[in-house]
Amino acid sequence: MTLREIRLFGDPVLTTRSDEITEFDDSLRVLVEDMLETMDEAGGVGLAANQIGLTRRVFVYDCSHIEDGLRGHIINPVWEPVGEEMQLGPEGCLSIPDVSADTQRHETVRVTGVDVDGNPLAMVASGLMARCIQHETDHLDGVLFLRRLTPELRKEAMATIRTSEWFNK
């Protein structure tokens, strides 16, 4: 397995929609393993392929630190809300270091996709896992969580980014 470089805010790949995956081979399996290792090393709960520079529709997740939490991957994810309930909570991003803001998301979602072998998978998730699914699928659509913030919070986040050491390299 190989640690991959995480792309940071400002990199055009982060605002590019990822392509559907149609080939399920050993290189895809290696990609998923590398993404899990990269996410673990960075201390994240999710990582989308475009965050490591690849416009492929796959993300990995690790919510195993919470009760009944899951760890794995979803290829070609599609989600829909279940019910009307929303959650508001802190959200950050490995591609935007040191920025966190309360972000509104659906409380419960149903997601479908496939695994590395092309087998269908589906789950209903709530709480952090639902937040992760929505955040990572946004990445695959070229949308950063900053776009989900209120104008005031987005302005604060952008001010933090503009003055950050990593952005001004």
- Please give the annotated binding residues for Fe cation, written as ranges: 93, 135, 139
Active site residues: 136
Closest CA to 35 of 12, 63, 58, 69: 58
Which residues 6+ apart lie within 8 Å of 59 measured at CB? 35, 46, 47, 48, 49, 73, 74, 77, 136, 137, 139, 140
The annotated binding site is made up of: 93, 135, 139
Collapsing DSSP states into helix, strand and coil, what is residue 51?
helix
Whether the CB-CB separation of 149 and 161 falls below 8 Å is answered with no
Give 103's Cβ-side CA count (13 Å radius).
24
**Residue 95, CA distances (Å) to 4, 15, 110, 159 in order:** 13, 12, 25, 16
The alpha carbon dihedral of 161, 44, 135, 66 has a sign of negative
Whether the CB-CB separation of 81 and 109 falls below 8 Å is answered with yes
